Structure 1
Amino acid sequence: MPGVAAGFYATTADPYAQVRVERDVRQFRTTVSGDILRSDEAIVSFLLRPEAVVQTGDVIGGTAELFWSEAGFPTTAQVQLTPVATQDGTEAVSVQLGTGPGAPSLTLVRQDRSLRRLSLVMHAIKGLALPNPSLVDANAAGETLPTVMKAASIEVAVPAGIQTRSELSSRALDPQRIVNPAELEAMLREWGSPPASVGLADDWWLHVVFAGRLEGGRDVLGIMYDTQSQNADPPRQGLAVFLNTKTLSDFRQTDPVAWRRHVLFTLAHEIGHALNLPHCAERNAPAALSWMNNPFTFAGGSEAFWSGFKDRFDDDELCFLCHAPHIDIAPGTSNYAVRQSRLIAGSGGPPGGLVALAASGAPVRAAAALTPVKRCAKGQPVPLYRFGEPVFLKFTLANLGEARFPYPKSFDPSDGLLTVTVTRPDGRSRTLRPAMALCQHHPEAWLEPGGEPASFDGIFASFDADGPLFDLPGRYRVTARFAGLPGPPLAAAPATLRVLHPTRAEEIAAVTVWDDPGLMRAIYLRQPLLALDRWQELVERYEAIARDGADPDDTTAAFLRYTAALGWMQRFAPASRKRAREPDPEKAREHLRAGQHPQLPSGAAGKLRRLEDDASGVTAEPGLSRRSRARPRRASPAPPAPSARSRR
């Protein structure tokens, strides 16, 4: 294929231009993409797909799709690439975007054969058992992170290797302790020092942390935690790998080769998320043998996945990684799962049927249901919610067959197996997109035929990474698909609920939350100290609403108390504070007692029972459940409500 050589071309002046040329000599296919940027802002990106390429001699041209940083501009234009002879023999091309007078024409010099470049800053909490440094060394023999990413035409550099840190904000770190998302973000800012500019190819930058375990994450192997821009901080620049999870700890002790493989897989998987790639199941490709799939939920089991996996991204993912517009892929630009182009889908396809097939081929008959946790009021056909009232959903899985079967105990959308879709009163549908996606080994249990269904009633659906889902008065329909069983996703029976028209005070209180991403994040993470001043103002607003006309079915006040209790159950140590705030079980109990409501998730009552038992020293006898302990428990009276300024 004569003419323009494959590779990455760029200018050095502002506005900065870059062009990527991919040439498949076996199939005679050429793909061209590029970006024109000014400082740290993309002006326009273009994509010339193989089917649109016209080659005349050495010149490549055709009609390209355009992706602008602002709306209102043309969506296509003619693009032409012509080889340019240089005095020093450097390969270069002249790129003309558009036709006619004034069409920009730029000369770009070939920089590399790889189409993208990415720099990683890696830190680990001192004292952890770390992988061999060769894992991230581009010059090491065998399969390494740089060789894996180079197969996707991404040149990865880890200039300083894996550096260890023993302190965060002048506080000592225990390698065995559990970390929370706020601490991960503090590590990103304090240890990583993200660059101010995210505009140029050479500026692609990610921070990687090796830590022990994630708070509340069960067996979470990795996470790309900054999915959204917060307080003007760019998103998609931080990820973490948790080395003390049960899965990785077991492999480290019994199978070092498998341990290295899983650490490498987790790194590549989370980097994929940081470059805005979804899970395979989210784009209806659950059988893909890709870094973005989950070996533990693969049809046929993890052994079937590893036996067929060729250490690569699949073709759709490779196309996105090589040619996605700058604003879709570059770390620090758009929020996770926000994409202008349609190079890759962000969610799964249509729901599956009632019957799923096990890996052995034996039929497994299961049924699923999704229902609001709040029950119908007397005489009402559907549950009624006050405007801005928290919405929790319950997912239930039942065995309709004659044989027991295993299932993953991962019914929250953040686990990656359950997809919830909300159809609004205006007819538009939204798929609930968790603010945080966990990549983990899902714990497994068995579902007996004719036995008690498995369920989870803590699905928080009021808002997600894209904002509020129930911000219009009217009737809503909620549906779900569960991808945790072999075969096609299992469709849950749909449910409906109604949001009432607001009073003026209710609308003001609701939009106070919805217009404040920091406050929504504090509520989602159940940590009011992340936005303390706005949290206190919110509590005061809802106290005033309750005084003006108390509704015993309204769960909002109880939910705020429940959230405050969870905040007091966590250690809070952001980089901005000189002293960490340690958990206070007594304050947590105080809020939980006042926050009990029969229409909140069962977890609220369960947490109160555990705190009460911890305070009284009650332990379970062998073989007895928490509900069958010897000492009877009396309900504690709710204390007087403290002032808003003393709450969390």
Structure 2
Amino acid sequence: MISGLYQGQDGDSRLELRVDVDGTRPTGRVSGDLFTVSGATTGYTGSFVVHAPAVTAGAVEGRGAFTYETGDQDVRVTISGESGTAQVAGRTYPITFVSRHFRKVLLEQDSVAGAVPFVSYDTGSLPGPAGSPARELSVAAAWAEAGIELTVAEPGVIPVDGAGADLAWDDAELHHAMTQQFSRFGDAAAWRVWLLVASKHVGGYRGIMFDYGDAHQRQGAAVFHDAIKGDSPQAQRAMLRTYVHELGHAFNLLHSWQKNLATPPQPLGPSGGFGDLSWMNYVQNYQPGGEAGYWAAFPFQFTDSELVHLRHGFYRDVVMGGGAFGSGAAEPAPFEQPVEDLSGLALELRAKESFGFGEPVVVELRLSCTGEPRTTHGHLHPDTEFTQVTITQPGGRTVLYRPMMRHCVDSSPRIRLDAGNPAMYRSAYIGHGRDGHYFQQPGEYHVRAQYVAADGSRVVSPPCLVRVRRPVGDDDHRVAELMLGEEQGQLFSLLGSDSPALRSGNLALEEVIDRYGGHPLSVYARLVKGLNAERGFKALTPGNRLRVRPPDAKQGVEQLAEVARMGGIDNITLNLVMRRLARAEARQGELRKAHAVMDAMVATFAAKGLNPIVMGQIRRQAELTKSALSAEA
């Protein structure tokens, strides 16, 4: 057998060569990464892959696809024993065998005290597909079967100081924790990734790959122990899948139903991708048969196309801190309406009449049934990526909105849409994402969305017109400058953060409040500051301890009350603001005021003339909030 990783050097050029023509699940490819050595430094030069090489005794050769221009695209590898030569781009490298694994990655894993990390699962513990051998699979062993050597650094345990009973993490806290705790976090591409085993997420998720906020992404992921813990074989099996799944995103693997957004766009597998037997599919969405069908057929492995990406994807498309998640994807066309749509569902996007320049662009998504009752999942917000949004900019270019934080939802509660509950609604901030700000110039934008339903149907919305007004006067210009910074966009996505890494953004929002407090856009600065103050914030200290900044109820009341008074925000966000305002009042011991805020919320929305079904939901929500706050008091 000759497959594996080889290394060699010719002068100042270093080659890492991957031969994959025999052995376990060979993909029939040869690929490599080239680096330039200069003194004590090494820089990346480019990559290549030979997709269908000719294999003869002791030789593998073919024409390569390169990431850079070269006059000689022929690649020839000759191997005898554990050494040989590789002719690449006109140079000849003496090569030496290094490993049967094709790539090596360092995993630095830390856990919060009380969250017990997964160890291993015996795949023979529960019935599985015929032909899939029973074996003991740790996370590292699962990746080894894909040809990736995952070395786990000495795990760390993060003590908890002053956290009380609430150990729920939000996206802002996770991002801050990575920047403080991951010893190898940095603005560079490298084969290393951080995994935090936390207690739980405020959204109830099982896992999240949360590092999308800068030019060096995919370095951090988290799994949530409270959502996946258990000693039963079923729980251990699910834990293994969650760990491997989240780390798969760090290697730039998309969900199974999103492969058409990859680079180059890949064909979707059976049932629009939901039929893939892959770590990257969602168990409950598998077709046919849902969760039971998935586990009965899943052989605990990646698909063939995913193996090709992991083993032979170009360096920057795979390495952590390299290309952005999904980077290099072909520019998407606006979603086309299906030729035939029997889904019984309709998707609609709504936006306010116009937005000020620099104003956070928020759209409302409405999914409804068009006739007979329909049951589907409730993941309508684009941060779960069951819903995708395209934005056609004034110049005609179409871009895919990619949220800064995207959540993996391993559970999908079913929503029934019928006469008593004809539609569900979500509010989504789409002004900023992994690619920065999307609405950076005045003009007309056309926004369209696609929702992937529980049965795989792709429901497309009509285009929604979003107008961004030109600034008028010096105050408009200055406020827009203060709102459109990169850190400010991240703060809007995170709904605030204490992280020192976002200090400049927080200072800019404070300047909006202090100097331009009467400007209509100041309501958004108050929104971010108020929501962040009203909640506690977890931070990892340099001494590797977890400390919690308690909620600042007084500051929360001050800012959120002003947000409610000023208005200008969408209804769903206003609903959130008033419920959080009520919680802040209750935390100050003002339970009567908290109840009054809920009564005011009902009156506010009744005055807007909302339909009776929605008003009924709001009234129930207000009463439930009152009851919860009274119980806490």
Instruction: Tell me, in whole angstroms, the C-alpha distance in 1 between the residues paired with 2:542 and 2:313.
Output: 39
Distance 1:6 1:295, change over 3 A: same
Residue 17 of structure 1 corresponds to 15
8 Å contact kept, 2:118–2:240: no
8 Å contact kept, 2:185–2:219: no
- The amino acid that maps onto 2:61 is G
Q: 1:191 Cα deviation (Å)?
A: 4.4
8 Å contact kept, 2:78–2:86: no
Residue 128 of structure 1 corresponds to 115
- The amino acid that maps onto 1:566 is L
- For the pair 1:166 / 2:166, whether they are aligned, the reply is no
Q: 1:188 Cα deviation (Å)?
A: 3.6
- For the pair 1:314 / 2:303, whether they are aligned, the reply is yes
Instruction: Tell me, in whole angstroms, the C-alpha distance in 1 between the residues paired with 2:239 and 2:439.
Output: 39
Distance 1:222 1:76, change over 3 A: farther
Instruction: Tell me, in whole angstroms, the C-alpha distance in 1 between the residues paired with 2:389 and 2:43.
Output: 34
Residue 350 of structure 2 corresponds to 371
Instruction: Tell me, in whole angstroms, the C-alpha distance in 1 between the residues paired with 2:375 and 2:59.
Output: 58
Determine what percentage of the aligned residue pairs are the same residue: 23
Residue 226 of structure 1 corresponds to 211
Distance 1:109 1:491, change over 3 A: same
| Mapping of residues 342-381 of structure 1, within 5 Å | 352=338, 355=341, 365-372=344-351, 374=352
Deviations 1:494-548 (A, max 9, x none): 211211223465455435544x43332122111153334443334435776676x
Distance 1:7 1:387, change over 3 A: same
Residue 154 of structure 1 corresponds to 148
Distance 1:564 1:413, change over 3 A: same
8 Å contact kept, 2:198–2:224: yes
| Mapping of residues 424-503 of structure 1, within 5 Å | 424-503=393-472
- SS of 1:502's partner is coil
Q: 1:385 Cα deviation (Å)?
A: 1.6
Residue 76 of structure 2 corresponds to 81
Instruction: Tell me, in whole angstroms, the C-alpha distance in 2 between the residues paired with 1:527 and 1:630.
Output: 23
Residue 195 of structure 2 corresponds to 208
Q: 1:196 Cα deviation (Å)?
A: 6.7
8 Å contact kept, 1:79–1:95: no
Q: 1:446 Cα deviation (Å)?
A: 3.3
Higher helix share: 2
Distance 1:128 1:353, change over 3 A: farther
Instruction: Tell me, in whole angstroms, the C-alpha distance in 2 between the residues paired with 1:630 and 1:146.
Output: 45
Q: 1:484 Cα deviation (Å)?
A: 2.8
- The amino acid that maps onto 1:293 is N
Distance 1:421 1:84, change over 3 A: closer
- The amino acid that maps onto 2:87 is Q
- For the pair 1:420 / 2:407, whether they are aligned, the reply is no
Deviations 1:229-251 (A, max 9, x none): 37xxx432221110112xx25xx
Q: 1:310 Cα deviation (Å)?
A: 2.0
Residue 95 of structure 1 corresponds to 86
Distance 1:294 1:507, change over 3 A: farther
Residue 584 of structure 1 corresponds to 552
Gaps of 5+ in 1: 69-73, 357-363, 375-382, 632-648
Residue 49 of structure 1 corresponds to 51
Instruction: Tell me, in whole angstroms, the C-alpha distance in 1 between the residues paired with 2:6 and 2:513.
Output: 57
Deviations 1:464-510 (A, max 9, x none): 11011112222211111111331321112321121122346545543
Instruction: Tell me, in whole angstroms, the C-alpha distance in 2 between the residues paired with 1:212 and 1:237.
Output: 20
Deviations 1:192-219 (A, max 9, x none): 41177966xxx6222221111123x2x2
Instruction: Tell me, in whole angstroms, the C-alpha distance in 1 between the residues paired with 2:387 and 2:568.
Output: 25
- For the pair 1:257 / 2:233, whether they are aligned, the reply is yes
Q: 1:369 Cα deviation (Å)?
A: 0.8
Instruction: Tell me, in whole angstroms, the C-alpha distance in 2 between the residues paired with 1:493 and 1:437.
Output: 24
Moved more, 327-336 or 259-268: 327-336
Instruction: Tell me, in whole angstroms, the C-alpha distance in 1 between the residues paired with 2:7 and 2:377.
Output: 48
Q: 1:338 Cα deviation (Å)?
A: 1.5
Moved more, 176-185 or 575-584: 575-584
- The amino acid that maps onto 1:590 is E
8 Å contact kept, 2:121–2:237: no
- The amino acid that maps onto 1:95 is A
Moved more, 20-29 or 274-283: 20-29
- The amino acid that maps onto 1:211 is A
8 Å contact kept, 1:297–1:484: no
Instruction: Tell me, in whole angstroms, the C-alpha distance in 1 between the residues paired with 2:625 and 2:488.
Output: 43
- The amino acid that maps onto 1:588 is G
Distance 1:611 1:541, change over 3 A: closer
Distance 1:150 1:518, change over 3 A: same
Deviations 1:373-428 (A, max 9, x none): x2xxxxxxxx22221112111111112233x3332222211122111111111111
Residue 96 of structure 2 corresponds to 109
Q: 1:20 Cα deviation (Å)?
A: 0.6
Instruction: Tell me, in whole angstroms, the C-alpha distance in 2 between the residues paired with 1:541 and 1:189.
Output: 27
Distance 1:262 1:352, change over 3 A: farther
Distance 1:521 1:628, change over 3 A: closer
8 Å contact kept, 2:437–2:486: no
Moved more, 529-538 or 582-591: 529-538
Q: 1:450 Cα deviation (Å)?
A: 2.9
8 Å contact kept, 2:349–2:448: yes
8 Å contact kept, 1:399–1:447: no
Distance 1:27 1:442, change over 3 A: closer
8 Å contact kept, 2:253–2:306: yes
8 Å contact kept, 2:488–2:509: no
Instruction: Tell me, in whole angstroms, the C-alpha distance in 2 between the residues paired with 1:204 and 1:21.
Output: 19
Distance 1:398 1:451, change over 3 A: farther
8 Å contact kept, 1:474–1:499: yes
Instruction: Tell me, in whole angstroms, the C-alpha distance in 2 between the residues paired with 1:93 and 1:198.
Output: 32
TM-score by length of 1: 0.78
Q: 1:46 Cα deviation (Å)?
A: 1.0
Residue 611 of structure 1 corresponds to 581
- For the pair 1:330 / 2:331, whether they are aligned, the reply is no
| Mapping of residues 499-578 of structure 1, within 5 Å | 499-503=468-472, 506-514=476-484, 516-530=485-499, 531-541=502-512, 554=520, 556-575=521-540
Residue 368 of structure 2 corresponds to 398
8 Å contact kept, 1:354–1:367: no
Distance 1:353 1:490, change over 3 A: farther
Q: 1:119 Cα deviation (Å)?
A: 2.2
Distance 1:347 1:116, change over 3 A: farther
- SS of 2:561's partner is helix
- SS of 2:527's partner is helix
8 Å contact kept, 1:589–1:608: no
Gaps of 5+ in 2: 124-133, 261-267, 600-616, 627-633
Instruction: Tell me, in whole angstroms, the C-alpha distance in 1 between the residues paired with 2:386 and 2:217.
Output: 24
- SS of 2:33's partner is strand
Q: 1:592 Cα deviation (Å)?
A: 1.3
Q: Alpha carbon RMSD of aligned pairs, Å?
A: 3.6
Residue 284 of structure 2 corresponds to 296
8 Å contact kept, 1:48–1:63: yes
- SS of 2:539's partner is coil
- SS of 1:290's partner is coil
Residue 241 of structure 1 corresponds to 223
Match for residue 280 of structure 1 among 256, 279, 303: 256
- SS of 1:396's partner is strand
Q: 1:320 Cα deviation (Å)?
A: 0.6
Match for residue 4 of structure 2 among 3, 7, 29: 7
Q: 1:92 Cα deviation (Å)?
A: 1.9
Instruction: Tell me, in whole angstroms, the C-alpha distance in 1 between the residues paired with 2:575 and 2:47.
Output: 52
8 Å contact kept, 2:345–2:367: yes
Residue 71 of structure 1 corresponds to none
Instruction: Tell me, in whole angstroms, the C-alpha distance in 1 between the residues paired with 2:211 and 2:569.
Output: 32
Q: 1:332 Cα deviation (Å)?
A: 2.2
